[in-house]
Structure 1
Amino acid sequence: MTDSWLPSILRSPLAALIGESCTVTLVDKLEILEPHCLRHALSKGLGLGIVLGGCVVKLPQLFKIVKSKSVAGISLSSYVLEVLANVITIAYNFRNGYAFTTYGEAVFIGVQNFIITLLMLVFTGRASLGAVTGALLLVFTYSLFDISLIGGSLLSTLYGLTIPLVISSRIPQIYTIHKNKYTGQLSAFAVFNYFFGTAARLYTTLVEVDDSLVLLGNVLATIANGVLAAQMLYYWNATAPKDKYRLDTKKNE
């Protein structure tokens, strides 16, 4: 390791994140405007921030559901589709050897989405269906990581399908809000975090991942999340019509 003015307790994790060569350039030599390393460091920093944000992005939504015991204004089909997209995304990126900072938020968001999906089933009187859903998801996830069950070409096809899947997961929620003129129990923190996260992910993908499928997926996800964010702002002060948001099994599908 090159002699550095930065204490090793700080330099070591930084080097692990952005690489030794860029640490030497940006930190040790203080060449902070060197184009390649600056882009790389910015991408890594954004990626890490997105992953950390993914750890908590759905917690406000989860807490709102638990506290209110209501899933008013939340689309069950959106969450089911999103969970499927999450696990396929994780498997595709992992098996292709992409850096964890370019997709890691999908792991944490997927877990939170799955918990919320189960809560929605429980609070609409379908706990047994939740157990079956959980078991099927575990089998599907295992298959995605086993190359003998799902080969590389099939996994690429499945990942390609997540692009319309992600968009499809947003459409029911967008339609629900448009129809009700109310965002219900939808978390503003989650919506805006998603939007800014996918927008930042565009940059990290361009810098670190040479994969047109991943790039296209991030572009479309940013657009869809932008629509949800716009709806959240537009209906910010809207109130629920009386008796409109009772728990109803069919209404949340």
Structure 2
Amino acid sequence: MAERRVVLILGGTSDARQLAARLVAQPPPGGVRVVSSLAGRTKAPVLPPGETRVGGFGGAPGLAAWLREHRAAAVVDATHPFAARISANAVAACAAAGVPLLRLQRPGWTERDGDDWRRVGSAEEAAALLPGVGSRVFLTTGRMETTPYAGLDDLWFLLRSVEPPEDAVPRNLELLLARGPFTVEDEIALMRRHAIDVVVTKDSGGGQTAAKLDAARELRLPVVVISRPAVAAETCVASVAEAERWVAHVLE
């Protein structure tokens, strides 16, 4: 029975780290082995408490094999809201291995008075919309999916990410390597310094990266917001506390 009390957290987010910390500090009765899996896309990730593995499983079949081998009792998918492929693999793997799955996903952002949001469904749609919205773009979607913007030679981009992009990038681009959270004051100063007239972001939700939205509202700038993909898992919660209670219930 002890071997089956393995909880796999598909992580890389602050919520995943918080959940791991809670389960390690106050494990359910009988104890639990917490294993956090990171995709390995960031060279210097912030590691959570408990055990950590880095790198892919080899798709849904590889993840299902890992769950069987380690006799996993539960999986919590706490990956980024836009990690659609990983989430879909988790659904398929847990179904194949007969392991309960929970999706932990914080709520998306809500538009407020004074906001000028233009919602789109993808990076490609955002790139197609930009020429009619602004000319100096603050691109805050990270180092992935930069290719759709590469052909926009008439626009200037400030790209902020933790690590340099590996895909094609716009010709007129300045790269800013930085890790949040950022204050509203710093975001306002940054946008003014670079004469930004439009912001592009993914609807990641949470407070760590929301300061740019407050800054854009203060400066009356339009924001192109890329909407999230649909949730693949049947069971989904919005908070770390709810996920902790779900794990305790599964392990009872």
TM-score by length of 2: 0.28
Specify which structure has the higher proportion of strand: 2
TM-score by length of 1: 0.28
